[in-house]
A and B are shown apart, each in its own frame.
Chain A
Amino acid sequence: MPLVAVPGATSRLRATRQALRAATAEDRARSLRDAATAIRRRNLAMISRAGQGHIGGDFSATDVLAVLYTAVLDLDPENPEAPERDRYIQSKGHASGALYATLAYAGFFADAELDTYMEPLSALNGHPNRRKIPGVETNTGPLGHGVPVAVGTALAAKLDGSARRTVVLTGDGELQEGSNWEAAMSAAHHKLAGLTVIVDRNRFQQGAGTEETSGLEPLADKWAAFGFAVQHVDGHDHEALYQALSAHPDGPDADRPVCLIADTVKGKGVSFIENRAEWHHKVPTADQTAAALQELAR
């Protein structure tokens, strides 16, 4: 059975977005925090049930996803290929748990579908498949694919004279792939101001720190040198993320693409998972799941 949107999802999502935009910073931050917590709890349950997943990279990106899907992007779950939708491209395909839990939260498909995560013949593979999952723009998993595709969607918008945005989330470790830097060069050359690259800067890759493996620093200088307007943002501060994602740092006449370096904590939200390389794809035991859910409830 193909996945289909929850009836009324589009109007609910748009109403949420409008309300969040109109809310006070304090109310907005509280709502966004609640959304992120709900997504993390669901994501944890999925991984625990499936016995597989990438919880560290899921949790470092959850706050970014919660802000994008509830307050920033113009999306249409009931018509997921509406031509004028904003494009969200997740280059770190292994953080599928966070993506799927967010898509279900936004109503792209029923929450119950998340219980099939990684099951035989499930639409919800370990890495996202756009042909099975509404809301997924491109199939990722191999690293360094998202930014080049995002250059294409941003070029298409520019050719159309459309204001629709492209936001691409990339892991930090995957910036070791050269394809990103080809694409960055091209994005700046083509003045793709509608493109925002968010780097999930949790400083870890599969087995060790990024700086121990093949150092990325000075990362902001690199993106700036490639022609991007670069900003650091606390990747777990919902209001800061909302503000950073809501306007181009160069103003309305901008002609540079944007790079937001989201400083994040791998495994954010659960003390015994945070900042530990082994939790890149470790699966919590039943006791650990219970303890983690308790921490996430606070």
Chain B
Amino acid sequence: MTTAAPALHDCRKVFAQTLIELAEQDPRTVAVCNDSVGSSNLKEFAGRFPDRLINVGIAEQTMVGAGAGLANGGRVPYVCAASPFLTGRALEQIKADVAYSRTNVKLCAMSPGFAYGQLGPTHHSVEDLAWLRTLPELTVLVPADPAETREALLWAHEYDGPVFLRIGRTGVPDVTPHVPFRVGKAATLREGTDLTVIAAGTTVPAALEAADKLAAAGVSARVLNLSTIKPLDEDAVLAAARETGRIITVEEHNVHGGLGSAVAETVVAHHPVPMRLLGVADEFTPTGSAAFLAEHFGITAEGVLHAADELLDAATPASAGTPGAATS
């Protein structure tokens, strides 16, 4: 069966539209940026609310610090910048001024992962989840499509506390049109019993495609969309470990420290099962487009299928009760 290629969306667009809605509804809303009016899609916001678009210039430490100060003054600041510079350049401000001070700052990380493709590792953000996952008080969200991006922003606005959101530029299909978005809860996009694929953001479509192919081969794969990296939905992760016995994680992030690590930490502590962690190998990426890099590192449906083969061929999972009984 073939279907028409689904429409792909740049999540920055729905981000920009939703932010304008929030600014219309709530005068506390301000956007703060580091000269990224264009790349953060804030031009229309700037036209509509010129006083509430604060461009501090190319100065990420001041951008985040001033965001914390604006929150102290009762504003709800959306601090927008390309993810590598927001997180890398201003990490200590995120730690001290936002997370430790627990200010009501919304950190909007544009074009995360390797979305900037050929611009290279300086412009990639495949460390952000590892860095930020270790900061108490910070909620870390990775929406997968326009619907989730919008829901995540609406939630962040209501929530009184610091939030980090990855806002992707890579074209993504609608993957969650009928699944309610709940912070702190993984969404089950496919039910399954033989293994679980856990994805977030741009990797959700690869997980779904792999699950479809596995189903055609008679393997029942569960797919979890883990849009909240922190706090982690431990119940969903442990249910996957218990009920399916094998877990594959797939993320647009270094294999160390991100989604896969978060899942593994929980699994190893409470219900160890075989896992495969797919992501950027621990090396600086070679030159290539985002699509090329996804292929290069196996962050694709094929990569998931390969990992599934390995897990299915390996020792019988712990959940079957006969560990080590079968080998390939």
Contacts and interface: CB of A to CB of B under 8 A. Distances in A.
Q: Do A and B bind each other?
A: yes
| Residue of B30, B54, B73, B103 with most partner-chain A CB within 10 A | B73
Given A151-B66, A152-B68, A152-B71, A139 B59 contact: no
Interface in A192-235: none
Contact of B54 (A155, A157, A160): A155
Given A137-B72, A159-B51, A182-B62, A152 B67 contact: yes
B70 A189 contact: no
A156 B73 contact: yes
Interface stretch (A67-75, A96-104, A141-149, A253-261): A141-149
Contact of A148 (B54, B65, B71, B102): B65
Contact of B66 (A83, A155, A157): A155
B97 A149 contact: yes
A144 B89 CA distance: 14
A30 interface: no
Nearest to A166: B69
B66 A152 contact: yes
B59 A150 contact: no
A142 B56 contact: no
B250 to A, nearest CB: 35
A79 interface: no
A186 B66 contact: yes
| Residue of A89, A129, A157, A159 with most partner-chain B CB within 10 A | A159
B100 interface: yes
Nearest to A140: B96
A131 interface: yes
B52 A151 contact: no
B169 interface: no
A148 B66 contact: yes
Contacts of B180: none
Contacts of A186: 56-57, 59, 62, 66
Contact of B62 (A130, A138, A153, A179): A179
B70 A155 contact: yes
Given A144-B61, A182-B57, A159 B96 contact: no
Contacts of A190: 54
Contact of B74 (A147, A156, A189): A156
A157 B74 CA distance: 9
A183 B30 contact: no
A152 B73 contact: yes
A125 B77 CA distance: 28
A145 B65 contact: yes
B92 interface: yes
A296 interface: no
Contact of B61 (A140, A166, A182): A182
A124 interface: no
A139 to B, nearest CB: 4
A244 interface: no
B75 interface: yes
A185 interface: yes
Contact of B101 (A139, A157, A159): A139
B303 to A, nearest CB: 40
14 contacts: A139-B100, A139-B101, A145-B92, A145-B97, A149-B65, A150-B69, A151-B62, A152-B66, A152-B70, A153-B69, A182-B56, A182-B62, A185-B59, A186-B66
Interface of A: 83, 87, 89, 129-131, 137-142, 144-145, 147-157, 159-160, 166, 178-179, 182-183, 185-186, 189-190
